[in-house]
Amino acid sequence: MRAVGLSADRPGPLVPVEWLAERLGSPGLVVLDASVSAHRSPDRGAHRAVDRSVDMGADRRIPGARVFDLDGALSDHSGPLPHTMPGPEAFAREMRAVGVHDADTVIVYDAAGVYSSARAWWMLRAMGFDRVAVLDGGLPAWSGAGLPCESGDAAAWPEGDFTARPRPGLVVGSDEVAAALSDPEAVVIDARARGRFTGTAPEPRAGLRGGHMPGAVNLPFVELQREGRMLPVPELRAAFAGLVGERERLVFSCGSGVTACVLALGAELAGYRALSVYDGSWSEWGLPSERPVVTGERN
């Protein structure tokens, strides 16, 4: 019989490295490395420290960590957009392949701090799995605390019994975003750098229009972090309150649906609950189309 997961001991959607260090290797605890390749991410260069950290962590991992392959099987490659959600069957198959069980507690991290790990956290939530948390500061914080890493081939593990139970509304498409833009009770928040939001800086993917959705507001994901860790809850609340006012329905967008999830994590920590991530993000909205785009500061 499998041990019951550690969900009752998990303090929330974000855990410090000390929490994981004390429990690493416990039955029912799975650690997933959700790092993305800096050279394959369409948003590489959005924050230079991300590129450096990913490259430095390419051959190292937390002991016993398994791969959450966001660049590979855990994105839907049947269409032209990067990092889009796979279907529930494909997602469940990959989670079982890395040995995740329904009763497990999962900790996700990445080599950049808190970057693509937030995307893995949100994907698991969207598939109905709540016993998941992000490692605050990721691999840089783990290494910085003097904790051990390993390299080489990962150990094998038995197949899991993960069950996907998709939750409607956590991941949305362009029609839902368009509706949110005209809804006075909702706000669309863009996680891209300010230059990309205003259209004064080029998009890293060829063929995309510059600028932003009319009515969207800008909160670059790095502004929710300090030295690779998420800001304290009072500061997160202040960051959101200044943009959203009394609105509680928040829809997040970015370049390819990855750093939008950093905003979702920050909003969850700040106490917001009606949250959605635009899966296609600017990689879809910014394509030449009839979808409206504006430039300059907030419109």
Give the CA distances from residue 169 to residues 46, 122, 257, in Å, rounded to whole numbers and listed in that order: 27, 12, 14
| CA atoms within 13 Å, Cβ hemisphere of 227 | 5
- Active-site annotation holder among 65, 81, 126, 254: 254
Distance CA 254, CA 259 (A): 6
Element (DSSP H or E) covering residue 187: strand 186-190
Contacts by 74-78 with C-beta closer than 8 Å and gap 24+?
74/120, 74/123
Amino acid at 78: S
Numbers of helices and strands, H then E, in the chain: 10, 12
Distance CA 228, CA 218 (A): 20
**Is 149 annotated in the active site?**
no
Please identify every residue annotated as catalytic: 254
